[in-house]
Chains A and B, each alone.
Chain A
């Protein structure tokens, strides 16, 4: 939990990860442009997987987000009480 107390550190790490992913995605997009375009059928068959992954990620994000928000509110309240 010590790790999460340092909010600046967390924020910086998240930002760094996001920038890294963005940069990779940009490079990847450049690479893909050189490749032959996928046929409609191929992209169609992968689409359900993306939807399943997205749905499962949403579940984790929302439940985790709620838990973290409760934890944060609890901590703030305790700090104020002290």
Chain B
């Protein structure tokens, strides 16, 4: 158990250090988020809709699309110089590799999701008030579920000839429950409703994330074998 956690920690550390040095994925996702917020701002007719009514949906869409951008490249760097083979032939169990990759992705996406929230709050004039902690919790659970599925399918799409174009086709239908629960609870929290009202949704988001993590850890070994 001890070594298992150490192994996970080592891989996360390696990924985050690589990311810190290149800042490739976080920069791409961050820039995407800000630019998407700008474009979304012009996609709303403010004479007929109030920006704060649609902000929750737009935040989640930005998160999903921006997340795909970063998660799709999880195995890109390693598959380029055959480092993935080294990682996979090492004695580290496959599920540890999956969990480590997922958690590293989660760290990136969580930072981006907080950034997205900030950008939208600024551009759309949202008054988050006392609910800011609740919203961040919802976004965090959503990001965790997203990367749990995204990392697994990134490994699959990297192995195909279609590459990253396949990723949204595989992941979007699976993400529907997450988007439904995430958007409604974020929307209500932005509207200033108490956290109790969305507690059921938040629990479902958590269940989705845990189930996705468990399924991914179980099935990852079949994706990367040989």
In the complex they form, whether A and B have CB atoms below 8 Å apart is answered with no
* Interface set of B (CB-CB < 8 Å, partner A): none
A residues within 8 Å of B by Cβ? none
